[in-house]
Chains A and B, each alone.
Chain A
Amino acid sequence: MRKNKIIGILLLLAAPACLADDSSAPQKKVTLQDLIQNAAGSPTETPAVAGVRGLEETNGPIDTKARDYAVIDRLEHLGLHEDELKAFLDEGKLQ
């Protein structure tokens, strides 16, 4: 019985001390985003791109800020009717 008490006391003293060593290491919060990024691969990974083969680039740098919304508006409002499409398909013997 005395032996059991000693074991119990030893457990009480030893276990937290062991964990104290672990807690001294820097802890990183693992967020849901970390888990998803790990599953999806490195966040800096970029898609593979087909390289230039034999010819030089024809255009210069791209102006990514240029916009012409008006012409896209007109394209969006072209308005094809289902009947017109059906007639087009029939004429070409298409499905």
Chain B
Amino acid sequence: MIPRPYTYLSALLLFLTSPYYTQAFDFSTIDVGKAVSGGSKLAKAAGGLSDDDEIKVGREVAANLAARYGLVEDAARVRYINLVGQAIVRHSERKKIPYHFGILHTSEINALAAPGGYIFITQGLLDTLKDESELAGVLAHEVTHVVHRHIVKAIRQADLVGAGQDLASAAGKDVSQYSQLSDFSINLLSNGLSRGDELDADKGGTILASKIGYDPTGLRRSIERLAAKQKTDVLMGRFNKTHPPARDRLKAIDQTLKRNHLAESGQQLAERFRRNIPAK
């Protein structure tokens, strides 16, 4: 006579080892190697591209902008833009990557931040500015896009760098995928980041400029001036396409100024600006 507990136990053992059970939970379907590498990619996906990858993609985007528009190569002017830019970077939360500031040779009115610290302002936008605090506000807006990795976030949202994918990493082993990232970023800059990211950059840029000692209303004044041109100036087509309406931006900046108790104070440096960027 078999005791009752053993009867149930043997029944259970037979059930667990039956072919149906092993098929339903088929461990052979799990690729262990993939799971292990997937773990590291999960970490990568969580953080987005590595800094090196981001810089490489950004360099491609920068070279594309340079080919399409050309860069102003007036040494004094480029140096001045970079001094203002580097002053901003010193107070940013992402100082480990190198930043480069260039002037795009076009009368179009716009400013752009490629991934990895390549930042551009057009000669057209530069011509509308009145002082250094406005320039600082514009560049701080672009630096905030890089600091908050807005393009990298968009790349992830488009699933171009998923956990199951091998990014064409540092050496650019997979040229097609690498090129895909660059093309995506170039098109994104042309079509615009999300409205939320733009407003985030306005807020971040306003605070960042104030940390250096610039008048924190510089970005606000530049947007307000552009708003007057916005409806009539054909050179603002792409700017309008890639940025939210001025009223929304001004509202977001006003809220930031109020919440952070930032008043119209600090340096505007109109004379130094005009010395380096002569009026048209």
Contact = CB atoms under 8 A, between A and B. Distances in A.
Interface of A: 1, 4-5, 8-9, 11-12, 15-17, 19-20, 22-23, 27, 29, 31-33, 36-37, 40-41, 43-59, 62-69, 71-72, 74-76, 78, 80, 84-85, 88-89, 91-95
A54 to B, nearest CB: 6
B213 A93 contact: yes
Contacts of A19: 18, 20-21, 23-24
A53 B245 contact: yes
Given A64-B187, A94-B87, A71 B157 contact: no
Interface in B54-83: 59-60, 62-64, 66-68, 70-71, 73, 78-79, 82-83
For the side of the interface on B, what is the size category?
A: 35 or more
Contacts of B188: 47
Interface string B1-19: 1001001101110110011
A50 B192 contact: yes
Contact of B73 (A49, A54, A71): A71
Contacts of B206: none
A58 B7 contact: no
Interface in B221-255: 230-231, 234-238, 240-245
Contacts of B79: 78, 80
Per DSSP, chain A at the interface is loop
Contacts of A43: 159, 162
Interface stretch (B140-148, B169-177, B193-201, B256-264): B193-201
Contact of B240 (A1, A11, A22, A55): A55
B63 A69 contact: yes
Contacts of A52: 237, 240-241
Contacts of B159: 37, 40, 43-45
B212 A33 contact: no
Interface of B: 1, 4, 7-8, 10-12, 14-15, 18-21, 23-24, 26, 29, 31, 34-35, 38-39, 42, 45, 59-60, 62-64, 66-68, 70-71, 73, 78-79, 82-83, 86-87, 90-91, 98, 100, 102, 108, 118, 132, 153-154, 156-159, 162-164, 182-183, 186-188, 190-196, 198, 211-214, 230-231, 234-238, 240-245, 267, 269, 272
A95 B91 contact: yes
A30 B116 CA distance: 35
Given A4-B7, A49-B191, A80-B86, A11 B20 contact: no
A62 B21 contact: no
A84 to B, nearest CB: 7
A15 B79 CA distance: 78
Nearest to A51: B241
A92 B132 contact: yes
B42 A72 contact: no
A94 B159 CA distance: 42
A24 B21 CA distance: 13
A15 to B, nearest CB: 5
A57 B238 contact: yes
B32 to A, nearest CB: 11
Contacts of B86: 80, 85
A10 B70 CA distance: 82
9 nearest A-B residue pairs (beta carbon): A33-B164, A58-B237, A32-B38, A66-B67, A19-B20, A43-B159, A68-B67, A36-B163, A68-B66
A72 B38 contact: no
Contacts of A40: 45, 156-157, 159, 162
